[in-house]
Amino acid sequence: MGRMTSRRRVLRVHDGTHTARPDTLTVEEPLEIRVAGKALSITMRTPGDDFDLAAGFLVGEGVVRAAADIHSIRYCAGATADGGNTYNVLDVVLAPGVAPPDASVERNFYTTSSCGLCGKASLDAVRTTVTWPIGDDPFGTDVGTLSRLPDELRAAQRVFDRTGGLHAAGLFDADGKLLCLREDVGRHNAVDKVVGWATRDGRLPLAGTALMVSGRASFELVQKAAMAGIPLLAAVSAPSSLAVDLAAELGLTLVGFLRGSSMNVYTRPDRLGLQPS
């Protein structure tokens, strides 16, 4: 159902010499997500865990809140002119009584692997109602445990070792135990895959957990974490101003520039046993 890597010829230049050799690349292909046969979004993603991706996407948009809200997910047959299946189109059937997505969820343009919000009808539509308030979540960990997460995340990235071209999202408990890791060419897709795994496994809300992501922390990643009930989001790079504002508004602990024992804690440092000076 689609490969995560592909081989291409490359001309390797090093110290004035060049050699032709094969190179392993991360696959990037479109995935069209439909609900009850109606196109909802097209995202550029790395094939793999597509059902989790769709489920997590719908959680982040407030369409579903539990595994019971989803009747079925299937790839659409006949996706090509000759009747073949590209495994790049899937359809989600919601359970009876579950309201279909609001029109504001629909993307006017496709979602790129680097930006999950392209084409949103309005910024107001982004501020999806959070199902599980996370401000009162008693989750707590320590700086030492948090500082180990980037290495744990990196060590678990199987495909990154072969391509160097994938983002990762990892879900951890308060003791730093890795519960789930997903890789994708897009940061938001990797998070959707983690949230979708938890949804289909009946684990929502994800109280008492921390989400670690490669790259930066965007507004949308804060929203996705909050919609899944995750009280702490950590990133190896910088957050945006809007991400910090939303985290403060929701009571989510947001950590950026997490690299070894160094980190910036932007909101709710009390969950790390810290107090503002």
Residues involved in catalysis? 115
- Phi, psi (rounded to 5 degrees) for 226: -65, -40
Residues 3-15 as b/e (b if ≥16 CB within 10 A, e otherwise) read ebeeeeeeeeeee
Tokens of 185: 């060419």
**Exposure of 240 by Cβ count < 10 A (0-12 exposed, 13-18 middle, 19+ buried)?**
middle
Tokens 């009162």, residue located? 136
Q: At what angle do helices 219-227 and 187-200 cross, to 10 degrees?
A: 0
Residue spans of alpha helices (H) in 20-120: 50-60
Side-chain-facing half-sphere of 80: CA atoms under 13 Å: 7
How many Å from the N-terminal Cα to the C-terminal Cα in the chain?
Answer: 52
- Phi, psi (rounded to 5 degrees) for 67: -60, -35
